[in-house]
Amino acid sequence: MAKYFAVAALLAALVAPAASLPAGLGIHYDGDVDAPLLKLDYATYRGKYDNVSDVFIFKNIRFAAPPVGNLRWAKPASPRPIAEIQDGSDGRQCVQAGQARAAGPPAGEDCLFLDVTVPGRVLREKGLKLPVVNWVYGGAYIVGSKEGANAAAMIRASKGNLIWVAGNYRLGAYGFLTGTTVEKTATPNAGFWDQRAVLQWIQQYIGLLSGDPGAVTTIGISAGAGSILHHLVLEGGTLDPLFTRAILQSPGYNNWLDRAGQLEANYQRFESLAGCTGQGLACLRNLSEPALLNASIAANAGQRPGSFAFGPAPDGKFIVSSPTLEIAAGRYWKGLSGLISSHVVDEGGSFSDPAIATDAAFDALLNSTYPGTGLAGLRAGVQRLYPAVGADAARAAALGYKDARGRLGREISEMSFTCHNRVAADGYPGKTWSVQYSVPPGTHGADQTGTFFDVLGPRGQGLSEGEKRERVGFQGLLVSFMRGGDPNAYRDGEVSVEWPRTTGFNATTLGNVLEVHSLEGKKGMRIIEDGWVIKERCAFWTDAQRDVMATLKTG
């Protein structure tokens, strides 16, 4: 890289520090122009140049103190000062629930790190103020890490006009322990506080790297998108989420509501598995890392496929109620300038328990999920909305299933994923663009091959030109939105369709929805009405949550 510009030019283009920070912070050099230093007010991090993508990567920047000991189940604390220059090698992903883990570095409790990827022009040009993207990984709130996105490919797609930030957040019991005991003596939904700490870091420091803290787009898939929806309802929608635009891909979350019942029972079970029965959070905070990990593994063992021991839940203050109910009640942040919300055509199939092989098994699961006479109407509604194949084969076929497992998959799709797209769109009429991703197999996560497509990577090899164009075109729409808040403004020339804002909020189907339906380049996208997000069916699930809440209050 050094041959392309002189050291003197680099030094003249040092990024000015943010006004609220001490002078002298920002980019510095100590001899190697391919390895600049990012000086913060608490530590200095050495970057690394990727000459293929023309980006600089600053890895494993601490944005909070290690959440161990007394900082378990606490809000992230400020990172401690570090005197030695950090080379980015010290980093871990957060402890994964169970024994599975995301690909990448080892896991551990000391995991609150973030990565920043900036285009090379940030260090070559003066006066830049680039939009920022914050990526929130998915993984059912139990697995995942910041390494899961291809930041370099996205920056290349933007022609060097984006800065990318991805941070870890605590998972499973470490990040989403809730219930009344936790509410009294700790911080519920600690994982959301970690995500917010990354956004606060962006607000404070991204100006050192020519980033614009007033133009932050946050993007997430599955649990990452569900997390973003939760940030829009923080403290009843009164707390600024610290981003201006959002991209929600298959937003997923369970609608757990019973703080004093199921959530507290989950906490008590975890306390018992850890050998801390009756001793509370003080005992859990004093456990060794291996002992706490063993309790986490035990808590997640034996969970029915598609269900998890811990996840986001109302805590009465930070998360007052589910995003579904909060947005329906108007208690959400209204200040977003734009939103993209998307789903695939088979969201629930991957989470459908193969043991539910008969309609009797479906009914038994339904009775255990919504027990008691107070929820009899809700159970009857589910039976009506998702008829057994033997009772109404024609309607079942129209809904896309042919057996009991498919029946459960359709219920999961609408309850936990697709209707969240309707919730998000209803909250931001006139500001929303909607996507239906139908490219086979159309299963949960299938759209990620287009989102993070890298023509230079291994998945880009061997594809036809049409397949490449489809992926590049879809990716370009998302990148255009990240750059300027409009997916059409900088879209790839291969995309012939103009993508209008969503309509039909009071109709049965949402209109002006972009369907990505094939891998045929210009022919692979069209504007449709979305028959997978039906107003009446989604209204049923919103009403169902209200019914559950009413039962909890009276039962």
Active site residues: 222
Question: What helix, strand, coil percent values describe the chain, rounded to 5?
Answer: 40, 15, 45
Whose tokens are 């459908």? That residue is 352
C-alpha–C-alpha distance, residues 491 and 476, integer Å: 5
Residue 20, phi-psi category: left (phi > 0), alpha (psi -120 to 50), beta (remainder) = alpha
Q: Please say whether the beta carbons of 343 and 421 come within 8 A.
A: yes
Classify the C-alpha dihedral 143-108-219-119 as positive or negative. Answer: negative
DSSP state of 291: H
Q: How far apart are CA 96 and CA 91, in angstroms?
A: 15
Spatial distance between the Cα atoms of 160 and 156, rounded to a whole number of angstroms: 6
**The pair of three-digit structure tokens given for residue 304, joined into one six-digit string:** 């029915």
Q: Distance between CA atoms of 82 and 222, rounded to whole angstroms?
A: 35
The two tokens of residue 296 are 């986490």
The torsion region of residue 512 among left (phi > 0), alpha (psi -120 to 50) and beta comes to: left
Residue 203, both tokens: 């607000």
First-to-last alpha carbon distance for the chain, in angstroms, is 68
- Is residue 314 packed enough to be buried (19+ CB in 10 Å), middle (13-18) or exposed (0-12)? buried
DSSP state of 503: B
